[in-house]
Amino acid sequence: MVAKDTISSIIVFLFSLGAFVLARGYGGGAELFPKGLAIIMMIASAAMFLRAILWPSAIPEGIAKMDRSERSVIALCVVLTVAYVALIVPLGFATASVLFIVVISYALGMRNHLAIWLTAIGFVGLLYFLFVRVFHTPLPADLIVGLLGI
Amino acid sequence: MFHDIFSALIEMMTVGTIVAMICGTCLGICLGALPGIGATLGIALAIPFTYGMGPLPALALLAGIHNGSSQGGAIPAILLNMPGTPGSIVTTWDGYPLAQQGKAGGAINLSAISCAVGGSLSALSLILLAPPLAKVALAFGPPEIFWVNVFGIATVAALLGNDLLKGFIAACFGLFISAIGLDNVSGHERYTFGMLELVNGVATVAVMVGMFSLPPAWNLVRQARMRESATESMGRIRIVSERIWTVAGVWRAWAVASFIGIINGILPGSAIASFIAYNEAKRVSRNPEKFGKGSIEGLAAAECVNAADNASALIPTLTLGVPGSNVAALMLGALLIQGFQPGPQLFRDAPEIVYGYSWALVFTALLLIPLGGALASRVFANVLRIPTTLLLPLIIVIASAGVFASQNSMFDVYVAAFFGLVGLAMIRFDFPIAPVIIGLVLGAKAEFNLRVSLMMSAGDYGILIFRPICIILIILTVLIVAFPLYRTYQDWRTRKANGGEGSIPAEH
């Protein structure tokens, strides 16, 4: 708890300091609000740091600590999500989404091939239909959907 | 006022709005039934879909999700002893024993009717209490509106978490995000780093969806094993819809729970409302010894209070533009997306929207009787069988599609992913997320009113302090901030007396 608060207070302080320095360059009153916020955040983060160092028993209890396996599985999900978002433009929404659902399901240990592929294709197809045909809202152009001429 | 209320009722009676209410309620029940999802994530995912809809069907859909998810949380609580939403923790105390006695169907049915009673009374309180408050708020000038916003932000920062400092830092972070882009008074660019996409600011929907849907989706894998082993026991529970209650047996519990729920909805920090209502229902009950062992009144109180704070929590949102909860902040965002500025002027400029939305909350609460009762126990309970490993990517895909479609911008998807990571880091470091969103949605308004106030007074800060309503709002803000400080001090003393034990658990 102490380590968490010490680290986060330093990050918040540095962030606020950076925001304060940048705000000094704005004129016409535009600097007033961000500068005020930065000062409040610096004071709050300094108070948090001092509390962690001098009065650790006053820190309210936080969420339970994750074990190593939980941390690694969440890290895997985050990495796959970032990869998915990065692949939407080159592959298109439908292809990237189907790939993402399939890959993450296998990566998390699911082995029901039929359920995985049916859900991936059916769900993405339904979503594509809803956006493009019902709401008339385009989704990022797709490689496979383009080839199929849908 | 009454003319507007009845005109709105007539405007609600269109096929599109009725279909939206039914779909929203069904969707809400399914989302509420999935532990770890609930109303906040459901509404965050649904908001981008409402872009292409008219305002009333859009608000009707969101009202359905809101009320539906309150009742949906009871399904896993009763069947698996696993609360679907934080408010359903109390439901497990009597719901699960009833399921073990072979009364699961009857318990789900009672939970639906209790939610319908609490939800509709709460919506009626919104219709009756909001207009007079809005009338008072119409007299507010820029300094008062600035303090109302500060009060709203302080309330959420102080009461929606268990650490005042972290709540304030989170709120300030939200205010910072709102400051990104072109300053609407001087025209200066702020924190854009030369990126054209940031000139108009950060898309509120992208931040909301990123922070409210991605971290809970990633965290779903943590509860995967627990949920899947619990779901295996579902096959052994017989779900027979039989009536296990009478109005004479539960009306006291409904009355107490509705009253507590409505009051707690208006004031933020309603996570404890279900506990208070349960204890009060036990106190007024003729059979208090049955509580915790399958009490009909206990279940009725727990479920009634869950829905009773839904609509009343929107009273400060709609009248003052100050949201007091996650869902209220999202609804404020949804109204902004539809082109409406929540606040007292909304009652004057677009009464059909305010009252139409209030009616949608009444009707979707009543829809819980057919949809949340027999149908939920037979059909919607099966959503619990969806493996978490499949649910997680589906949430992320919906979130990405929704964020992209809101402005046809891939940049918004990157922003959502970035804020998803920020949200995850905040949760790991025990920072609450709700104040960020509330700071974000109120930031521009607070800053604008601060700047206009200072222009009115030629730079004299006295205008913000020496006006009667400002003084009242400043005192209220100080009290709101002082309360958790006092609570922290008391908790520290208790822990010290117990040798380091007895702290408050975190709420996110």
Judged against a pLDDT cut of 70, whether residue B78 lies above it is answered with yes
Flag whether residue A18 sits within 8 Å of chain B, measured between CB atoms. Answer: no
Whole-model pTM? 0.81
Residue range B113-147, pLDDT digits in tens: 999 999 999 999 989 888 888 888 777 888 988 88
Judged against a pLDDT cut of 70, whether residue B500 lies above it is answered with no
pLDDT computed for residue B30 by the predictor: 86
| Rg of chain B on CA atoms, in Å | 22
Judged against a pLDDT cut of 80, whether residue B84 lies above it is answered with no
pLDDT-derived band at B423, boundaries 50, 70, 90: very high
Do residues B263 and B287 lie in contact, with contact meaning Cβ atoms separated by under 8 Å? no
Flag the least confident range among A76-85, B60-69, B149-158, B420-429.
B149-158
Q: Which two tokens stand for residue B16?
A: 């599109």
Flag whether residue B193 sits within 8 Å of chain A, measured between CB atoms. Answer: no
Flag whether residue B490 sits within 8 Å of chain A, measured between CB atoms. Answer: no
Judge whether B503 lies within some domain. Answer: no
Q: Do A74 and B173 touch (CB under 8 A)?
A: no
Find which of B172, B454, B504 to mutate to test the A interface (most A CBs within 10 Å of its CB).
B172
Flag whether residue A116 sits within 8 Å of chain B, measured between CB atoms. Answer: yes
A vs B: CB pairs below 8 A: 184
Chain B residues with CB inside 8 Å of A45's CB?
169
For A50, the closest chain B residue by CA position comes to B165
pLDDT-derived band at B228, boundaries 50, 70, 90: low
Judge whether B504 lies within some domain. Answer: no
What interface predicted TM-score (ipTM) does this complex get?
0.92
Residue range A122-142, pLDDT digits in tens: 999 888 888 888 777 788 877
Please compute the mean of the pLDDT values over residues B201-207 and round it to a whole number.
88
What is the residue-averaged pLDDT of chain A?
86
Judge whether B273 lies within some domain. Answer: yes
pLDDT computed for residue B504 by the predictor: 42
Flag whether residue A129 sits within 8 Å of chain B, measured between CB atoms. Answer: no
For A65, the closest chain B residue by CA position comes to B428
pLDDT-derived band at B39, boundaries 50, 70, 90: confident
pLDDT computed for residue B389 by the predictor: 82
The set of residues, in sequence order, having a beta carbon less than 8 Å from that of A86 and lying 6+ positions away, is none
Query: How far apart are alpha carbons A105 and A89 in whole angstroms?
Result: 22
Chain A residues with CB inside 8 Å of B47's CB?
none
What is the residue-averaged pLDDT of chain B?
83
Judged against a pLDDT cut of 90, whether residue B173 lies above it is answered with yes
Judged against a pLDDT cut of 60, whether residue B404 lies above it is answered with yes
Do residues B50 and B337 lie in contact, with contact meaning Cβ atoms separated by under 8 Å? yes
Q: Do A137 and B222 touch (CB under 8 A)?
A: no
| Least CB–CB distance from A97: residue in B397, B431, B450 | B397
Judge whether B507 lies within some domain. Answer: no
Query: How far apart are alpha carbons B185 and A111 in whole angstroms?
Result: 57
| Least CB–CB distance from A40: residue in B172, B186, B429 | B172
Query: How far apart are alpha carbons A102 and B393 in whole angstroms?
Result: 9
Residue range B42-76, pLDDT digits in tens: 888 888 888 778 889 999 999 999 999 888 888 88
Please compute the mean of the pLDDT values over residues B415-423 and round it to a whole number.
94
Chain B residues with CB inside 8 Å of A22's CB?
191
pLDDT computed for residue B388 by the predictor: 77
Judge whether B502 lies within some domain. Answer: no
Q: Do B488 and A34 touch (CB under 8 A)?
A: no
Flag whether residue B165 sits within 8 Å of chain A, measured between CB atoms. Answer: yes
Residue range B258-314, pLDDT digits in tens: 998 888 888 765 556 778 888 888 888 888 888 888 889 999 999 998 888 888 888
pLDDT computed for residue A1 by the predictor: 67
Q: Mean pLDDT, 10 residues at a time, over chain A (150 residues)?
A: 87 95 86 91 94 80 74 91 93 91 90 90 88 79 68
Find which of A10, A35, A63, A124 to mutate to test the B interface (most B CBs within 10 Å of its CB).
A63
Q: Do B400 and A85 touch (CB under 8 A)?
A: yes
| Rg of chain A on CA atoms, in Å | 24
pLDDT computed for residue B348 by the predictor: 80
Judged against a pLDDT cut of 90, whether residue B21 lies above it is answered with yes
Choose between B424 and A3: higher pLDDT: B424
pLDDT-derived band at B503, boundaries 50, 70, 90: very low
Of B262, B419, B327, nearest in space to B31 by CA: B327
Q: What does DSSP assign to residue B321?
A: S
Question: What ranges in B34-162 are assigned the alpha helix state H?
Answer: 38-46, 55-72, 74-80, 89-100, 104-137, 142-159
Q: Cα–Cα distances in Å, from B77 out to B41, B84, B109, B296, B319?
A: 19, 6, 13, 15, 34
Give the distance from residue A28's alpha carbon to the nearest chain B alpha carbon, in angstroms: 6
Judge whether B109 lies within some domain. Answer: yes
Ordered DSSP codes for A4-41: HHHHHHHHHHHHHHHHHHHHTT--TTTTHHHHHHHHHH
Query: How far apart are alpha carbons B371 and B115 in whole angstroms?
Result: 12
Judge whether B362 lies within some domain. Answer: yes
pLDDT-derived band at B231, boundaries 50, 70, 90: low
Query: How far apart are alpha carbons B87 and B373 in whole angstroms?
Result: 19
What domain count does chain B have? 1
| Least CB–CB distance from B397: residue in A8, A40, A101 | A101
Give the distance from residue A91's alpha carbon to the nearest chain B alpha carbon, in angstroms: 13
Judged against a pLDDT cut of 60, whether residue B328 lies above it is answered with yes
Query: How far apart are alpha carbons A53 and B112 in whole angstroms?
Result: 50
Chain B residues with CB inside 8 Å of A84's CB?
396, 400
Query: How far apart are alpha carbons B113 and B99 in whole angstroms?
Result: 17
pLDDT computed for residue B230 by the predictor: 58
End-to-end, the C-alpha distance of chain A in Å comes to 54
Judge whether B506 lies within some domain. Answer: no
pLDDT computed for residue B506 by the predictor: 40
Flag whether residue B502 sits within 8 Å of chain A, measured between CB atoms. Answer: no
Give the distance from residue B453's alpha carbon to the nearest chain A alpha carbon, in angstroms: 13
Find which of A77, A97, A127, A132 to mutate to test the B interface (most B CBs within 10 Å of its CB).
A77
pLDDT-derived band at B415, boundaries 50, 70, 90: very high
Chain A residues with CB inside 8 Å of B163's CB?
59-60
Structural domain boundaries enclosing B127: 2-497
Q: Do A4 and B430 touch (CB under 8 A)?
A: yes
Flag whether residue A69 sits within 8 Å of chain B, measured between CB atoms. Answer: no
Flag whether residue B182 sits within 8 Å of chain A, measured between CB atoms. Answer: no
Flag whether residue B185 sits within 8 Å of chain A, measured between CB atoms. Answer: yes
Chain B residues with CB inside 8 Å of A26's CB?
183, 186, 188, 190
B292: alpha, beta or left? (left if phi > 0; alpha if psi -120 to 50): left
Do residues B216 and B349 lie in contact, with contact meaning Cβ atoms separated by under 8 Å? no
pLDDT-derived band at B482, boundaries 50, 70, 90: confident
